[in-house]
Structure 1
Amino acid sequence: MTDDDRREHRTVGDVDLTTWRTRLGRTVSSAWVRLGARFGALPLLIVTLLIGIGVASVCTWAASEVYEGVREADDAAVLDRPVLDWMMTLRSPVLDTAVTWWTNVAGTIGMPIVALGFLVGFTIQRRAWTPVVLLMAASAGSLLMTVAGKDLIGRARPPLADAVPPFEHSPSFPSGHTLNATVVVGTIVYLLLLRESRRVTRVWTVVLGTAFVVSIGVSRVFLGHHWSTDVLAAWALGLAWLAVVVTAHRLYLTAVRHRDEDVPTAQAVRPSR
């Protein structure tokens, strides 16, 4: 593998992901470089992601506590009911069918198919296990957050009279479709950015990925399957977990760079001037 190939895997445009510009980032990455040299970069990535799943669980618990406070103050109802009422005015038989089809792309069948398709492509193209580890860990954390959030809150969905069939009966908070789409598609977008050299391609990748995630969230409210606050919480939790996954991968890349280039630890994490 050439130096250019290595750099392509650890940069997004002109941004080197192994460069840490904050003191905390440099301290943590220096420790990860030393641990990576001792135990191996990939095992360390797996351990980091497992720790991250624990962090995701804490974030889900914290979100449930915040939501309980909002619900007790009836602040959620101020937003939820008007938004759903407005969405209901936009419905038509044709649009209802189209949106139902679209939201199923992020469902329990559609989203695994999307993830598996990209996973096979990444694995064949890169001949590496890193995309497999990242997508599996991201998906596992997302699923855990969805299940934990529903069990902790147990919020009822909007009335069936306000929903478009087929009806759903599991707890409403958070929106699993939205959370899983945010995390899985966000991870796919991140992995694609590592391989794209043209700025216009990177921009369109981010735009399309964002549009997909936003449209899935909106579709859940449009169909009356979730309240708007369920979707907002799912976006927030999904982005938080995605940030953990990307940070874990950056630490992995820093350890790999140090191993491959034999760069002293301080130099490996020092920001460029």
Structure 2
Amino acid sequence: MNSIQKTPLRVSVLLVVAFFVVFLTYRTTVVTAFDRAILSWFEQNRTDGLLMLMDGLAFVGSTKMVVILGILLITFLLVSRSPLKDVSFSASVLLTTGILNTAAKYSVARVRPEEFMIIELSTYSFPSGHTMGAVSFYSVVAFLIWKRSERRSIRFAICSFSIMMIVLMGLSRVYLGVHFPTDVLGGFFLSGAILTFFYWFYYKRDKHSSL
């Protein structure tokens, strides 16, 4: 396996390390102060218009919606007779994202920032499920469309849209006061690790070498 083939795997490992750095430091005084400062700033700058937008994003990024969108995506890939590799990659990323997010939440059991919340939620906080779902789903969609289109305008449009949705989803969780910023960072890192690992596994791994 050459160096280029290994790059996604190395990125995945680095993202896992970054995730654990966030996990191991979020209780420290410095990081806690950072979390609270960001939450306080968003709380002081809430507007009715932005609250409506963020509420809409909360609905789009909910577990039910992500499951529905994921099922629709896999169904489309199967009906359109897409390569099995694409189906397996998409299903692996989305399923692993859901499983690891749930496992991490209950393992860490971090309480949400209740004094900043404007939406009542009883589930644990770390890492952000909305963020992980957005990173995984929109990145997979962007990747699949990128593979199928040679037009730069389409590639640019889908990548821009996906990045926008991912960033807005992460910001919305802090804006609504339901997550600490470090929950969102942890979600970015963990879902990024999942994406890059399965990209390496299905598209870059040397099939003649052992894992």
Using structure 1 for the length normalisation, give the TM-score: 0.66
Correspondence 1:249 to 2:202:
yes
Once the two structures are superposed, residues 230-270 of structure 1 have per-residue CA deviations (whole angstroms, 9 ceiling, x without a partner) of: 00111111111110111122147x76xxxxxxxxx8xxxxx
Match of 2:61 among 106, 130, 135: 106
Q: 2:131·2:170 contact (CA, 8 Å) conserved in 1?
A: yes
Correspondence 1:147 to 2:102:
yes
Higher CA-based Rg: 1
Q: 2:23·2:186 contact (CA, 8 Å) conserved in 1?
A: no
The residue type equivalent to 1:179 in the other structure is M
Residue 88 of structure 1 deviates from its aligned partner by 1.1
Q: Show the counterpart of 1:163.
A: 117
Q: 2:35·2:180 contact (CA, 8 Å) conserved in 1?
A: yes
Residue 75 of structure 1 deviates from its aligned partner by 2.3
C-alpha RMSD of the superposition: 2.8
Q: Show the counterpart of 1:93.
A: 48
Q: CA 1:23–1:80 in structure 2 vs 1: closer, same or farther (change >3 Å)?
A: closer
Q: Show the counterpart of 1:123.
A: 78
Q: State how many pairs are aligned.
A: 204
Give the unaligned 5+ runs of structure 1: 1-19, 26-51, 256-264, 266-273
Tell me how far apart the structure 2 counterparts of residues 236 and 68 of structure 1 sit (CA, whole Å).
11
Match of 1:73 among 12, 28, 31: 28
Q: CA 1:153–1:127 in structure 2 vs 1: closer, same or farther (change >3 Å)?
A: closer
Q: Show the counterpart of 2:131.
A: 178
Q: Show the counterpart of 1:40.
A: none
Residue 148 of structure 1 deviates from its aligned partner by 2.1
The residue type equivalent to 2:88 in the other structure is V
Q: 1:119·1:131 contact (CA, 8 Å) conserved in 2?
A: no
Q: 2:25·2:31 contact (CA, 8 Å) conserved in 1?
A: yes
Structure 2 counterpart SS, 1:183: helix
Q: CA 1:118–1:233 in structure 2 vs 1: closer, same or farther (change >3 Å)?
A: same
Q: CA 1:173–1:22 in structure 2 vs 1: closer, same or farther (change >3 Å)?
A: same
Tell me how far apart the structure 1 counterparts of residues 79 and 189 of structure 2 sit (CA, whole Å).
32
Per mean C-alpha deviation after superposition, the further-off stretch among 66-75 and 79-88 is 66-75
Tell me how far apart the structure 2 counterparts of residues 128 and 221 of structure 1 sit (CA, whole Å).
38
Q: 1:96·1:164 contact (CA, 8 Å) conserved in 2?
A: no
Per mean C-alpha deviation after superposition, the further-off stretch among 70-79 and 241-250 is 70-79
Match of 1:135 among 86, 90, 114: 90
Once the two structures are superposed, residues 81-109 of structure 1 have per-residue CA deviations (whole angstroms, 9 ceiling, x without a partner) of: 11111111222334323311222111111
Correspondence 1:63 to 2:19:
yes
Q: Show the counterpart of 1:22.
A: 3
Structure 2 counterpart SS, 1:114: helix
Q: CA 1:162–1:73 in structure 2 vs 1: closer, same or farther (change >3 Å)?
A: closer
Tell me how far apart the structure 1 counterparts of residues 43 and 132 of structure 2 sit (CA, whole Å).
23
Once the two structures are superposed, residues 169-215 of structure 1 have per-residue CA deviations (whole angstroms, 9 ceiling, x without a partner) of: 11111001101211122112111111011122112211111111111
Give the unaligned 5+ runs of structure 2: none
Q: Show the counterpart of 2:170.
A: 217
The residue type equivalent to 1:78 in the other structure is A
Structure 1 counterpart SS, 2:177: coil
Name the % identity.
23
Per mean C-alpha deviation after superposition, the further-off stretch among 87-96 and 238-247 is 87-96
The residue type equivalent to 1:22 in the other structure is S
The residue type equivalent to 1:157 in the other structure is R
The residue type equivalent to 2:45 in the other structure is L
